[in-house]
Amino acid sequence: MGVLFVICGTILLIICVSMLLDKNINRLEELNPDVIYD
């Protein structure tokens, strides 16, 4: 049970972080439309 809880928590944490990073990248693109991310 403990291991399963840790795995689920880690997955949720990764999803939250990736969503935050996507929002930050979108803001950067809005501020600098000339900059192209590979």
Residue 35 has pLDDT above 70, yes or no: no
Residue 10 lies in a domain: yes
Confidence of residue 30 (pLDDT cuts 50, 70, 90): confident
pTM: 0.56
Residue 19 lies in a domain: yes
Q: How many domains does the chain have?
A: 1
What domain range includes position 9? 1-31
State the pLDDT at residue 17. 92
- How distant, in Å, are the alpha carbons of 5, 6, 22, 37 from that of 1? 6, 9, 32, 41
State the pLDDT at residue 24. 77
17, 19, 23, 24 alpha-carbon torsion, rounded to 10°: 20
Q: Which residue has the higher pLDDT, 18 or 26?
A: 18
